[in-house]
Amino acid sequence: MTDSKYFTTTKKGEIFELKAELNSDKKEKKKEAVKKVIASMTVGKDVSALFPDVVNCMQTDNLELKKLVYLYLMNYAKSQPDMAIMAVNTFVKDCEDPNPLIRALAVRTMGCIRVDKITEYLCEPLRKCLKDEDPYVRKTAAVCVAKLHDINAQLVEDQGFLDTLKDLISDSNPMVVANAVAALSEIAESHPNSNLLDLNPQSINKLLTALNECTEWGQIFILDCLANYAPRDDRESQSICERVTPRLSHANSAVVLSAVKVLMKFMEMLPKDLDYYGTLLKKLAPPLVTLLSAEPELQYVALRNINLIVQKRPEILKHEMKVFFVKYNDPIYVKLEKLDIMIRLASQANIAQVLAELKEYATEVDVDFVRKAVRAIGRCAIKVEQSAERCVSTLLDLIQTKVNYVVQEAIVVIKDIFRKYPNKYESVIATLCENLDSLDEPEARAAMIWIVGEYAERIDNADELLESFLEGFHDESTQVQLQLLTAIVKLFLKKPTETQELVQQVLSLATQDSDNPDLRDRGYIYWRLLSTDPVAAKEVVLAEKPLISEETDLIEPTLLEELICHIGTLASVYHKPPSAFVEGSRGVMHKRLPARTGSGESTESPDVGTIAGGSGTETAPSIIPSQGDLLGDLLNLDLAPPTTTGPPPPTSGMQMGGMDLLGGGLDSLLGGDIGGSAAMGAGFGAVPAVMPASLNAPMGGGLGDLFDLGGGVGMPLGAYIPPKTVWLPAMKAKGLEISGTFARRAGVIQMELTLTNKAMSVMTDFAIQFNRNSFGLAPAGPLQVLSPLSPNQTIEVSLPLSTVGPVMKMEPLNNLQVAVKNNIDVFYFSCQYPISMLFVEDGKMERQVFLATWKDIPNENESQFQIKDCHLNSDAASNKLQASNIFTIAKRTVEGQDMLYMSIKLSNGIWVLAELRVQTGNPNYTDLEISVKCRAPEVSQCVFQCCEAVLKN
C-alpha cells in the first residue's frame, strides 16, 4: 500500500487520463483513479471537471470507494449544483440501507452538500433517520439538523426538525443526547431570543445523567450547554455543582475546563458563608494545577484561563505559586503566561521566592521574556511594600549588566516605583543618569525625562540633561516630546532663574513648529499658565500626585465577567469578547454571571453595586455648556501634569466596541505620557459612552420638524452636503485613505467616510475617536466596519455623531481632530465641518423675539460679509437656506433691495441672527450682503462661510 504515489503525478493531460480511468470497467482501476482525484483535490488542483465521471462511481457496494466519492461530492457539489442532483437518488436509497453505517454515512454526507435543490430531498430521509432504531444513525442525524439549519434555517423550522431535536434530549443513548445538545446549542446561538434549549430543572437533570455516561466530547458539549443555564436559586445551583465536580478528575483537559466554567459561574449564586462554598473553592485548585502538566499547547490555553480565574477569585490559587515557576524548557508562550500569573499571585507571603525566580529569569536569552521579567520585578515592588527595597536593589544590579534592553526596562519600572514611594529611593537617580545615552526606546527615554523633571532640584545638571534631549526634539516620538515639555516646565518652576531660555525654547518648539495637536495644546496651556499666573502654575504643575494603583493590567470587570462565562473557549484565550473576533450574529450575545439570589445575608453585593453606581456618575460626559461659555472653555481643560498611570476609569460604553480603542489606541492618542494625565484620560474614557440613537438629535429637533411641516414653508430641498474631500491621504496612514464629509439627516449629524485600503494587507479592527472640539461633537456609536477591508477595497461608512462630548475651543472654530485606529496603527487627521451641521431644526425665532434679540446684541458683535457673484433672487436664497435650517423670519423690500431676516440656532443653544440683502433691481449687481449678529461673535465667520457655501451650491 503506497498511496503516496498519487501525490506525485503532475504531468499534463492528467485530467483526460483520469477521465478514462474513472470510466474503466475494472473496479480496482476505478478506485485508483478516484484516489488520484482526491489526492489532486488535496493539494489544491481543480478537478471539478471530472464531476460526472466521479459521481458515476457512486453506485458501488465498496464502502471505501463510496466514501471517497462522497468526499469529492462535498467539495465540488456547490460548483456544479445541477450535476449534484444526479447523486440524490443514491443518497435517498442509501438512507434506506439495512446497514446502519451506510444509512448514517448517507445522511451525514447529504447534510454537507450545500445545494438548495438537494436540501429539499434531504428532509424526508432526515426525518426518518432522526427516528431510526439505531443510535448511531440518530446521533448522526442530530448533527445533520444543525447542518441543514446552517444552509436553510427556515426549512428546518418549517419541517419541525427543531421539535424532533428537542425530543432527542430525552433519548436513551447518551451520545445521541450529547449531539442533540450540541446541535441545539449551535442553532440557539443564531436565534438569541428563542427559547430553543428551554432548559428547566427536568431537562437539566437529564443532561446531568447523560453527562456520566457519554464520551469525553459529549461531556464537553453538555457542560458547555449547562453553563448557559440560570439556576433558579442557590439550592439548585449547589446541586448542579455537586454533580459537576466529579468531572474535575477527567483525563481530558477540555472536560475539566468546561466543568470549571460551570462551577465558576454557578458559584456566584452560592452564599459565601456556606460550607459548601469553601469546599468548592478548595476543590478547584488541584485540577487547575494538573492542567499545567498537560502538553504545552493545552498549558497555554489553561494558563490564559487561569489568568482570568485568578483575577476573579484570587483565593483559589493563592497557595500555588510554585507551580507557575518557569521551567527552562517551557515554550516561550507558556513562559510569558506563567510570568503574568506569578505577578498576580505575588504577595507578602511568597515575595522572597518570587523575586529570586524573577532575578533568574532576567538573565535568560529571550528578549521579550527578560523584559517582562524585569517589569515584573517593578510590579512586585509596587504590589508588596515590604519587598520594595529588595526589588530596587535587584533592578540596580540588573542595570549594572548594561544589557541595553534590560536597562531600559528597568528604568521604566523604577519610574513607577518612584511614583509609589516618593522620596524614598531617589538615591539611585545618579546611577540612572549614567545610562542616559544608551536609552533608545521612547518609553525608556520618556521615563528618564520624567525622572529628571520630577527631581530636577536634586540633579545638579538637570538643565543640561534636558537640553541634550531638546536638540533632536522633532525626531522624538510624541510620548517623549510631551514628557520633555512637561519636564522642562517643571524644571523652570523649580529653578526659574537659569532655565528661562530653555523653557521658551521648548514652548516655541511645541506650539509653533509642531503639527501634533496634543503637543501644541499642552504647550499653549503651559504658556498661558506661566504668563498669567506663575504661582497658580506652580500649584498646578507641581501638584501632589495621587498614588498609583497596585494592580496593573487588570481586565475591566464587566469584560472579566463575560470572559469567565467563556472559560475554555477562544474568547478566554484571546481575552476578548467573542463579538471582537466572530463574524455575524454568532456568539455576539453577551453572557453575564448570574447574580446572587440569596436573601439578606449576602452583604457584599449591594455595596459593590453602590460603588459602581457612584463611579458611573462621576465619569458621565460633560454637559453642553451654556451660551457664551465657549470662550472660557480652554480653562476647563485639566491642566494637571502627568498624574496617574491607572487606566482610564471604566465607563459603561466600554463593552460596545469602545474596548479596543481604549486598550491600544487611546494610550497613544493621549500621547502616552508616562504619567498619563488623569483628567484627559477620564475625558476620553467617557467619550465612547454609547448614546442611544434617539438622543442624537438635539432636544426638540423632532418637534421643530413637525412645526415646519405644519407651517407649510415648502418642502425643504435637502440640506447642503459638501463634496467629500480627502482627509487622510494613504501616504500618511500606511495605505489607509480616508475621505469624507458631514451631513445632517433628519436631525442627526452624520460623518460620512469613505475608507479605502491601498495597502497590500487586510485591515481590520477599525475604531474612531475625536479630540475635544468646539461643539462637543463625538461619535454616537462605534465605527461600523464589520468585515475586514481587503486590499483595494473601498467601504462607505456613516457615523452618527452626538454633540454631548467634551468641549474645547478649536482654531478655527469648526476644526475637528480625529484619530482612526485599525489593526496596523493609529492615525490622526483634522478636518473642518460646515457649521450648518449644527443648525438645529427648531431654529425659527418668533418675530418679536428676533427684534428684541437683534437690538439686545451689542453692535460690535455685528459683522458684515459679502457674497460675490451669486445669481439668486431672494426666494430661491431663502429656500436654499431653509434646507440647511437657516430660517427666514421676515422679508422686506426697500429701494430695490430684498432684506431677509434670518435666525439660526446651534446645537449648543447659541442663536445667530442674520440679515441678507439681495439686489433685485440691478441684474448686473450680483453680490449679496449679509450681516451676522451673535452673542458669541467668533461663530460669525463660520456662519458666513457656511451661508456662502449653501447659497453657491
Partner 1 sequence: MIGGLFIYNHKGEVLISRVYRDDIGRNAVDAFRVNVIHARQQVRSPVTNIARTSFFHVKRSNIWLAAVTKQNVNAAMVFEFLYKMCDVMTAYFGKISEENIKNNFVLIYELLDEILDFGYPQNSETGALKTFITQTGIKSQSKEEQSQITSQVTGQIGWRREGIKYRRNELFLDVLESVNLLMSPQGQVLSAHVSGRVVMKSYLSGMPECKFGMNDKIVIDKQGKGGATDEAGKSGGGGGKQSIAIDDCTFHQCVRLSKFDAERSISFIPPDGECELMRYRTTKDIILPFRVIPLVREVGRTKLEVKVVIKSNFKPSLLAQKIEVRIPTPLNTSGVQVICMKGKAKYKASENAIVWKIKRMAGMKESQISAEIELLPTNDKKKWARPPISMNFEVPFAPSGLKVRYLKVFEPKLNYSDHDVIKWVRYIGRSGIYETRC
Ranges within 137-176 binding partner 1 (CB under 8 A): 137, 139-140, 143-144, 146-147, 150, 173-176
Cβ proximity to partner 1, 68 vs 678, nearer residue = 68
Residue 16 interacts with partner 1 (CB under 8 A): yes or no: no
Cβ proximity to partner 1, 24 vs 461, nearer residue = 24
Whole-angstrom distance, CA of residue 553 vs CA of residue 685: 16
Residues with Cβ < 8 Å from 764, sequence gap 6 or more?
A: 788, 789, 822, 823
Residue 204 interacts with partner 1 (CB under 8 A): yes or no: no
Q: Which span sits near partner 1 by CB under 8 A: 39-47, 556-564, 881-889, 928-936?
A: 39-47
CB of 56 to partner 1, least distance (A): 19
379 class by beta-carbon count within 10 Å (0-12 exposed, 13-18 middle, 19+ buried)? buried
For 131-231, where are the alpha helices, taking DSSP H only? Answer: 135-151, 153-158, 161-168, 174-190, 201-213, 216-226
What grid cell was written down for 655?
463593552
33, 54, 58, 71: which one contacts partner 1 (CB under 8 A)?
71
44, 472, 600, 613: which one contacts partner 1 (CB under 8 A)?
44
Residue 87 interacts with partner 1 (CB under 8 A): yes or no: no
Question: Which CA distances in Å does 536 have to 54, 485, 521?
Answer: 86, 18, 18
For the residues of 633-696, what is the DSSP string, one character each? GGGGS----S---SPPPP-GGGGTTHHHIIIIIHHHHTTT-TT--HHHHHHHHHTTPPPPHHHH
Cβ proximity to partner 1, 133 vs 544, nearer residue = 133
566, 744, 880, 917: which one contacts partner 1 (CB under 8 A)?
566
| Closest to 217 (Cα-Cα) out of 175, 170, 183 | 175
Question: 555 in helix, strand or coil?
Answer: coil
Residue 367 interacts with partner 1 (CB under 8 A): yes or no: no
Cβ proximity to partner 1, 68 vs 932, nearer residue = 68
Residues 400-419 that bind partner 1 (CB under 8 A): 401-403
| Closest to 168 (Cα-Cα) out of 150, 149, 185, 148 | 185
Cα 671 versus chain centre, distance: 20
Residues 722-781 that bind partner 1 (CB under 8 A): 762, 764
Cβ proximity to partner 1, 14 vs 929, nearer residue = 14
Residue 96 interacts with partner 1 (CB under 8 A): yes or no: no
Pairing assessment for the beta strands 815-821 and 767-770 based on DSSP bridges: antiparallel
Residue 10 interacts with partner 1 (CB under 8 A): yes or no: no
Cα 284 versus chain centre, distance: 32
CB of 444 to partner 1, least distance (A): 18
Cβ proximity to partner 1, 295 vs 437, nearer residue = 295
Q: Which span sits near partner 1 by CB under 8 A: 60-68, 527-535, 536-544, 653-661?
A: 60-68
Whole-angstrom distance, CA of residue 458 vs CA of residue 461: 9
118, 571, 630, 936: which one contacts partner 1 (CB under 8 A)?
571
Cβ proximity to partner 1, 59 vs 249, nearer residue = 249
Residue with cell 506652580: 538
Residues 904-923 that bind partner 1 (CB under 8 A): none
Three-class SS of 876-897: HHHHHHHHCCCEEEEEEEECCE
Segment (H or E) for 799: strand 794-802
Q: Which span sits near partner 1 by CB under 8 A: 105-113, 306-314, 429-437, 471-479?
A: 105-113
Cβ proximity to partner 1, 71 vs 381, nearer residue = 71
Residues 214-253 that bind partner 1 (CB under 8 A): 214-217, 220-221, 224, 243, 245-247, 249-253
22, 95, 110, 302: which one contacts partner 1 (CB under 8 A)?
302
Residue 372 interacts with partner 1 (CB under 8 A): yes or no: no
CB of 540 to partner 1, least distance (A): 44
15, 92, 254, 899: which one contacts partner 1 (CB under 8 A)?
254
Residues 572-611 that bind partner 1 (CB under 8 A): 572-574, 578, 581-583, 586-587
Q: What is the rounded end-to-end Cα distance, in angstroms, of the chain?
A: 79
Residue 793 interacts with partner 1 (CB under 8 A): yes or no: no
Residues 119-138 that bind partner 1 (CB under 8 A): 134-137
Cβ proximity to partner 1, 257 vs 686, nearer residue = 257
Within a 10 A sphere around the Cβ of 838, how many other Cβ atoms?
29
Cβ proximity to partner 1, 4 vs 922, nearer residue = 4
Strand order in the sheet with 725-728: 725-728, 736-745, 748-757, 794-802, 778-779
CB of 514 to partner 1, least distance (A): 35
Length of the chain: 953
For the residues of 501-517, what is the DSSP string, one character each? HHHHHHHHHHHHS---H
16, 52, 93, 101: which one contacts partner 1 (CB under 8 A)?
101
CB of 209 to partner 1, least distance (A): 10
CB of 39 to partner 1, least distance (A): 7
CB of 221 to partner 1, least distance (A): 7
CB of 385 to partner 1, least distance (A): 25
CB of 280 to partner 1, least distance (A): 12
Identity (one letter) of the amino acid at 540? Answer: V
Q: Which span sits near partner 1 by CB under 8 A: 317-325, 340-348, 734-742, 808-816?
A: 317-325
Residue 512 interacts with partner 1 (CB under 8 A): yes or no: no
Question: Which CA distances in Å does 153 have to 75, 124, 130, 195?
Answer: 22, 16, 17, 16
Cβ proximity to partner 1, 302 vs 417, nearer residue = 302
What grid cell was written down for 266?
454557578
CB of 887 to partner 1, least distance (A): 49
For 313-403, where are the alpha helices, taking DSSP H only? Answer: 332-345, 351-361, 367-383, 388-400
Q: How many residues bind partner 1 (CB under 8 A)?
A: 119
CB of 518 to partner 1, least distance (A): 31
Residues 665-684 that bind partner 1 (CB under 8 A): none
Within a 10 A sphere around the Cβ of 232, how many other Cβ atoms?
12
Cβ proximity to partner 1, 186 vs 948, nearer residue = 186
Q: Which span sits near partner 1 by CB under 8 A: 291-299, 452-460, 509-517, 773-781?
A: 291-299
For 676-820, where are the alpha helices, taking DSSP H only? Answer: 678-686, 693-696, 701-711
Contact 949, 883 (CB under 8 A): no
CB of 220 to partner 1, least distance (A): 5
Question: 244 in helix, strand or coil?
Answer: helix
Within a 10 A sphere around the Cβ of 626, how many other Cβ atoms?
10
49, 63, 349, 717: which one contacts partner 1 (CB under 8 A)?
63
Question: 700 in helix, strand or coil?
Answer: coil
Residues 321-360 that bind partner 1 (CB under 8 A): 322-323, 325, 327-329, 332-333, 336, 353, 356-357, 360
Within a 10 A sphere around the Cβ of 175, how many other Cβ atoms?
19
Per residue in 754-792, is it b (16+ CB within 10 Å) or e — as a string?
A: bbbbbbeeebebbbbbbbbbbbbbbbbbbbebeebbeee
129, 168, 182, 482: which one contacts partner 1 (CB under 8 A)?
182
DSSP 589: S
Residue 824 interacts with partner 1 (CB under 8 A): yes or no: no
